[in-house]
Amino acid sequence: MASTLKDVAQHAGVSTATVSRVLNGDPRITEATRTRVLKCVRQLDYTVNTIARSLKTARTFTIGLVTPEIANDFFMKVAQAVEVRIREDGYNLMICNSNESIAEERHRVELLLGKCVDGLILIPAGPDGTHLRSLSERNVPVVLADRLLQGFQTDAVLVDNASGTRQAIDYLVDAGRDRFGFIGGDLRITTAKERYAGFCEAITAKGLTVHSDHYKFGDFHTETGYALMGELLSEENPPDTVFISNYYMHVGATQYLVRHRDLVPPGFLVASFDDMELSRVVGYAGLTIAQPVTEIGSRAAELLLERMRGRKPTSPRIERLRTRLVHHHVSAR
């Protein structure tokens, strides 16, 4: 079927070594043979079998990315940025889905290792990383993105979740808000934990009291955001300002608001982590915390490439990127 290097060699009347050299741009090859070989390559519609090449060279020029969710704008924007950066260095990206399961995460990582990826970027599915220990022994470079891991030490690129949240709450309190609700993600996940911590810090620092029946937690999905906003608004004395820990919950929560306008107290305002194109369109969003999504990806890629070059065998580096407050001047409704 697919023609091999040997086929090309025969057609061109040279050795396989020569063909290989031509393919790899070895300079000491006659222009004559080079063109002859390349002609045969074209004629036979030859493509290298990178499987075979990788088996020999022990390099794949592929880096793996494992993400807890594939249909997730935030993660995919990170992936996109990773790809852009690594492609500059000639690497390809292979994306795998851990489906928010630690077990699947392990499988995906093993799959990728079996495929001999040269490096790995991991957006962890859970807080625990002990199942990844084997990675260090094989010394495959790994960089974490977005979330931190316990029991596994490597480079990581994160944002400053706590201070980003603090900043938003400070702003809102200064603007006169004092009846806060909170809709957060699973506290075992570092981002969710840090954001909640930042929230609480800000609240207490401003001398407000923590009103924990107004604080709801769940996974980070749209439906959950919807449900939790419902819970909040059906309380006797609902908050008038709700901080939402992430984008998809924000979307869900807003769906609830749109469908239940009558339940929404006057002056109601939502602030949320993550600023996406849609945050600007979604009602009730007064304030969002923008993460440097692209930078997360490109920095993660950068750290990984450095590790892969073998340079800087330093101890794990954890980079915290800054968030940015975005004010939305939505007209009241």
Partner DNA sequence: CTGTTAGCGCTTTCAA
Partner DNA sequence: TTGAAAGCGCTAACAG
Residues that bind a copy of itself (CB under 8 A): 1-2, 45, 47-52, 54-55, 60, 62, 70-73, 76-77, 79-80, 83, 92-97, 110-111, 113-116, 134, 137-139, 222, 251-252, 254-255, 258-259, 261, 277-278, 280-283, 330-331, 333
User: Which of 85, 5, 72, 74 has its CA nearest to residue 37?
Assistant: 5
User: Which of 82, 70, 76 has its CA nearest to residue 117?
Assistant: 82
| Identity of the residue, 82 or 109, whose beta carbon is nearer to DNA in the bound complex | 109
Q: Hey, which residues does 177 pair with through a beta bridge?
A: none
- In this structure, the number of other CB atoms found within 10 A of the CB of residue 313 comes to 7
| Identity of the residue, 31 or 262, whose beta carbon is nearer to DNA in the bound complex | 31
71 binds, among DNA, a copy of itself, none (CB under 5 to 8 A by kind): a copy of itself
- In this structure, the number of other CB atoms found within 10 A of the CB of residue 237 comes to 9
Closest contact distance (angstroms) between CB of 59 and DNA is: 8
Q: What stretch of H or E contains 231?
A: helix 222-233
Closest contact distance (angstroms) between CB of 35 and a copy of itself is: 21
5 binds, among DNA, a copy of itself, none (CB under 5 to 8 A by kind): DNA
Distance CA 84, CA 229 (A): 37
267 binds, among DNA, a copy of itself, none (CB under 5 to 8 A by kind): none
* Phi, psi angles (nearest 5°) of residue 70: -105, -35
20 binds, among DNA, a copy of itself, none (CB under 5 to 8 A by kind): DNA
| Identity of the residue, 17 or 70, whose beta carbon is nearer to a copy of itself in the bound complex | 70
> Which stretches of the chain bind DNA, using CB under 7 A?
4-6, 13-18, 20-21, 23-24, 26, 28-30, 32-34, 46, 48-49, 52-53, 55-58
Dihedral (Cα; 210, 214, 216, 220), 10-degree rounding: -90
CB 293, CB 78: distance < 8 Å: yes
| Identity of the residue, 29 or 113, whose beta carbon is nearer to a copy of itself in the bound complex | 113
| Identity of the residue, 56 or 329, whose beta carbon is nearer to DNA in the bound complex | 56
C-alpha separations of 239 from 93, 234, 268 in Å: 45, 10, 8
Sequence-distant (6+) residues with CB within 8 A of 94 are 62, 63, 64, 65, 112, 115, 117
Closest contact distance (angstroms) between CB of 148 and a copy of itself is: 23
| Identity of the residue, 58 or 332, whose beta carbon is nearer to DNA in the bound complex | 58
| Identity of the residue, 57 or 130, whose beta carbon is nearer to DNA in the bound complex | 57
Q: Hey, which residues does 159 pair with through a beta bridge?
A: 321
**Residue 231: Cβ-neighbour burial (10 angstroms; 0-12, 13-18, 19+):** middle
Closest contact distance (angstroms) between CB of 143 and DNA is: 25
| Identity of the residue, 56 or 261, whose beta carbon is nearer to DNA in the bound complex | 56
Distance CA 214, CA 233 (A): 9
18 binds, among a copy of itself, DNA, none (CB under 5 to 8 A by kind): DNA
Closest contact distance (angstroms) between CB of 47 and DNA is: 7
Closest contact distance (angstroms) between CB of 7 and DNA is: 7
Sheet holding 180-184, edge to edge: 215-217, 180-184, 241-244, 269-273, 285-290, 324-327
Cα–Cα–Cα angle for 299, 302, 306, rounded to 5 degrees: 145
Closest contact distance (angstroms) between CB of 78 and a copy of itself is: 9
15 binds, among DNA, a copy of itself, none (CB under 5 to 8 A by kind): DNA
24 binds, among DNA, a copy of itself, none (CB under 5 to 8 A by kind): DNA
